[in-house]
Structure 1
Amino acid sequence: MSLTPVAPKVSVRPFKRGDVTDILSLMRELAVYERYIDQFRVTESDIIENGLNSSPRFGVFVAEMDGDIVGIAVHYEIPWTYDLKPVLVLKELFVSKHARALGAGKALLTQIEKHALEINASRIVWTVLRDNVAAKQFYVEVGGQQDTAWELWEFVHSIKAE
């Protein structure tokens, strides 16, 4: 007789309308973790309007455990340029703290890889906060590697509509 606890099964699927409240909650958790909650402006209607319309600007895969959404992988495509293949951008990968190390992150990345193959992407790219050591270790464990050729740049000033 084994007393070892069994981790709940993780399933991953594209999001649907009924998931929006949970997705927004996880996005807020991520905004707190990454220290930009004061600038966070996404609403449920934004997710619906931009992710579930006939020409979505982004997609979301959700990870479920025991019927609860515990993780998200927000992604979008950059159309091809030089190689006639799109680049898949993993904008946000987030798993709720209580579900980490139970396979949800790996399951979400597996789905992202499947999606990249489906769209014939040349690569998957993402960014990581410099001080997020746990995320970097996770990405190395699953085969990710830091891009040594390119640096992240941005405009220092805010771009504001007048």
Structure 2
Amino acid sequence: MSLAPVAPKVSVRPFERCDVTEVLSLMRELAVYERYIDQFRVTESDIIENGLSAFPHFGVFVAEMDGDIIGIAVHYEVPWTYDLKPVLVLKELFVSKHARALGAGRALLNQIEKHALEINASRTVWTILKDNDAAKQFYVKAGGQKDAVWELWGIEHSKK
């Protein structure tokens, strides 16, 4: 009798102080993937000060498998405006290359969806690089869709 291999179990939880080094490592890995590593300035101190303070500016869910952090979902809230409900912004969802296709991305997105319901968010929004077809396919499969009304615009602020 042959037994099928057991798929590793992915668990998701909010990050803690002991996770900061691994979270930063995944943020750097994402910066390389998205081609902005030369502009990346985040430090462990920044993550602690802005993500783990009494009044954090962002949160991070981490995906773990066999005790290792393999993915992150960085998020923040935009306070309510016209509908009296916040918008949840998924700033970064990233799974390390070696752990893709194991369910970590979907588990992180499920946690984001759960969090959005807990805070009574009207919607969750995110951006995708124009050439990241794999991400587009992932989000479409999960029920995401391109916004039919809004375009992303911005102004660059550079300091000399």
Q: TM-score range by the shorter chain?
A: over 0.9
Cross-structure match for 2:53: 53
Give matches, 1:2-81, under 5 Å: 2=2, 4-81=4-81
Is the counterpart of residue 158 in structure 1 residue 157 in structure 2?
Answer: yes
1:6 aligns to what SS in structure 2?
coil
Per the TM alignment, residue 3 of structure 1 is displaced from its structure 2 partner at its CA by 5.3
Per the TM alignment, residue 2 of structure 1 is displaced from its structure 2 partner at its CA by 3.9
Per the TM alignment, residue 7 of structure 1 is displaced from its structure 2 partner at its CA by 1.8
Per the TM alignment, residue 86 of structure 1 is displaced from its structure 2 partner at its CA by 0.1
Q: Distance in 2 between matches of 1:31 and 1:78?
A: 23
Q: Distance in 2 between matches of 1:61 and 1:30?
A: 15
Q: Distance in 2 between matches of 1:2 and 1:61?
A: 37
Q: Distance in 2 between matches of 1:127 and 1:110?
A: 17
Query: CA offsets per residue over residues 64-88 of structure 1, 9 Å max, x none?
Result: 0000000000000000000000000
Cross-structure match for 1:114: 114
Q: Distance in 2 between matches of 1:124 and 1:62?
A: 18
Instruction: State the TM-score, normalizing by the size of structure 1.
Output: 0.96
Query: CA offsets per residue over residues 99-151 of structure 1, 9 Å max, x none?
Result: 10100000000000110000000000000000000000000111111101111
Percent identity of paired positions between Structure 1 and Structure 2: 82
Q: Distance in 2 between matches of 1:2 and 1:90?
A: 42
Instruction: State the TM-score, normalizing by the size of structure 2.
Output: 0.97
Per the TM alignment, residue 159 of structure 1 is displaced from its structure 2 partner at its CA by 3.5
Is the counterpart of residue 103 in structure 1 residue 83 in structure 2?
Answer: no
**Contiguous gaps of at least 5 residues in structure 2:** none
